[in-house]
C-alpha cells in the first residue's frame, strides 16, 4: 500500500436544515474514524474535521470549506483524497469503496 489516505469531514456544530434527525458533523467524523479503524486495522489513514465557518490556514481546506458554504452542500461533506464520497448522511460503503481504490484491504472476519 502506498501513502496514507486523507479523509476530511467538513461541517459545523449546527445541523443543516434538512439534516435535523441526523448526527452532527462532529459525531459523523468520530463515527467514521471508529468504523474505518475497525474495517482496516493496522492500515493507517489520516482523518480530520474542518469547521466550515472557521477553517484552518491550509489553503486547500479553507477553499473547500468556502465552497461548502457557497454551494449549499449538505454537510457533513466527506472527502477521501479530495473526492466527495458523501454529503449530509455519508454511507460507509462509499467511503470504503474509495479507500480500497488506494489499496486498503478489508479485514472483516466472516463466520
Q: What are the domain boundaries of the chain? A: 10-100
Q: Please tell me the class of the 10-100 domain.
A: alpha beta
Which of 99, 89, 97 is closest to 25 using CA atoms? 89
- Using 50, 70 and 90 to split pLDDT, how confident is the model at 21? confident
Confidence (pTM): 0.90
Summarised one tens digit per residue, pLDDT across range 32-65 is: 999 999 999 999 999 999 999 999 999 999 999 9
Amino acid at each position: 500500500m502506498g501513502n496514507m489516505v486523507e479523509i476530511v469531514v467538513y461541517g459545523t456544530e449546527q445541523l443543516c436544515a434538512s439534516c435535523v434527525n441526523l448526527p452532527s458533523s462532529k459525531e459523523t467524523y468520530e463515527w467514521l474514524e471508529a468504523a474505518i479503524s475497525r474495517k482496516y486495522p493496522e492500515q493507517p489513514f489520516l482523518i480530520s474535521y474542518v469547521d466550515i465557518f472557521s477553517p484552518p490556514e491550509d489553503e486547500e481546506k479553507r477553499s473547500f470549506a468556502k465552497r461548502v458554504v457557497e454551494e449549499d452542500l449538505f454537510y457533513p461533506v466527506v472527502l477521501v483524497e479530495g473526492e466527495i464520497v458523501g454529503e449530509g448522511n455519508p454511507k460507509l460503503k462509499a467511503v470504503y469503496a474509495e479507500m480500497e481504490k488506494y489499496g486498503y484491504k478489508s479485514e472483516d472476519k466472516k463466520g
